[in-house]
Amino acid sequence: MRVSLPAGIAIGLAALFSVFHLVLGVASLATVSEVGPVLTCMALYAAASGVAIFLPGRPLPVWAACFSLATALVMPVIAAPVVDLTDKNDSTTWWVAAVGTLMVVLVVRGRRAFAWVGVVFVTLFVVVWAGPGAFGDLGLVGDLTWVAVATGFAVAMDRATRTTQEFLRAEQETADWQAAQDAHVFERQFRLSQTTRMALPMLERVIERDGDLTDDERAECLHLEQAIRDEIRGRSLLSDDVRDEVMRLRRRGATVQLHDDGGLDDLEVDDLRRVHAEIAEALRGARDADNVIVRTVAEGSEAAVTIVGLRLDTAASESAALGAGLDDEDEDEDDSVVLWTEIPRRAAV
């Protein structure tokens, strides 16, 4: 957002003043000693004003600012020798006010340094050429005043623009922070409601029996605790069907691990539902697996989810139960893969 005058009004005023100086230049042709230098100055001024006023972009390109400054430096040198200072016709020194107007345009277009060089040069040149009395008689006071006023206005507008941008940035940061807080609150409430829905019946049973639970009920408590952990570690992998199949496997005695490492966030709703359906179908087929691992695949891969089912060797399981402690290499050799499924990220056409 930029604080500024409407572009049409600013361009219209600048063009009106520029045309007014050209009219004065035409009026001075009858009083100067030579017409050629005045026409040259008028042509340069018209070109420089047109470029400075109508060229798009802010700040003004450097080449355009240099062209306007060069015009301001050349015009007094060309026009002054053909002016008769004894003639009190104000139109003969039209170029003094014209340079001031052009420099005001440069200030507004964001080239204050160029503008001050031009107005200081024309002031010193006219004072040296016509004497100190010309400072007030030929309009130099007006040039300096208008450039100073334009500079102050431009500085104030730039400061207002920066302040507005800072406010907008602070507002955006506040909105982002509020959105993040709302998301955290929603996520926390959702997890609490999910946990309450899953664990409340068992907690009520624990209270009713004063903690005196059967072995099956204690095992069910462990299953519920694992299901709550799934909501944290594997939430993008879960749907109602997947939850049911995971619980069925655990109640059968299998170990099920869900790992959400990211990679499903970019999926469309239909693709995510398809992935959940295929996970549930794969878990239904893991009847012989003692250890099932479901893990997401990072973005960039063709697969979205990998499911591995392992069947433990009976002897190894008994040794582990007796505390024999087989090392990892022997344990990996004793495990056999009974399920290997990769669910694609996109449905096959």
Encode pLDDT of 9-46 as tens digits.
778 888 888 888 888 888 888 888 888 999 999 999 99
pLDDT of 315 > 80? The answer is no
Residue 212: which pLDDT band, with cuts at 50, 70 and 90?
confident
Ranking 35-49, 193-207, 216-230 by mean pLDDT, the lowest is 193-207
pLDDT for the residue 326: 43
Question: Which of 320, 340, 342 has the alpha carbon at shortest distance from 330?
Answer: 320
pLDDT for the residue 335: 66
pLDDT for the residue 89: 66
Question: Which of 321, 301, 313 has the alpha carbon at shortest distance from 337?
Answer: 313
**Gap between the Cα atoms of 277 and 281, Å rounded:** 6
pLDDT of 202 > 60? The answer is yes
pLDDT in tens, 92-129: 888 999 999 999 999 988 899 999 999 999 999 999 88
pLDDT in tens, 257-312: 998 887 787 788 888 899 999 999 999 888 888 899 999 888 777 888 999 999 88
145, 134 contact by CB (below 8 A): no
Maximal CA-CA distance, the chain: 123
pLDDT of 219 > 90? The answer is no
Q: What is the mean pLDDT of the chain?
A: 83
Percent of the chain having pLDDT more than 90? 27
Burial of 194 per CB tally in 10 Å (0-12, 13-18, 19+):
middle
- DSSP state for residue 347 in the 8-state scheme: -
Query: Looking at per-residue confidence, does 131 or 46 come out higher?
Result: 46
pLDDT of 148 > 80? The answer is yes
Residue 170: which pLDDT band, with cuts at 50, 70 and 90?
very high
Rg (CA), the chain: 42
Q: Considering Cα of 277, then 280, then 282, then 285, what sign does the dihedral take?
A: negative
Residue 6: which pLDDT band, with cuts at 50, 70 and 90?
low
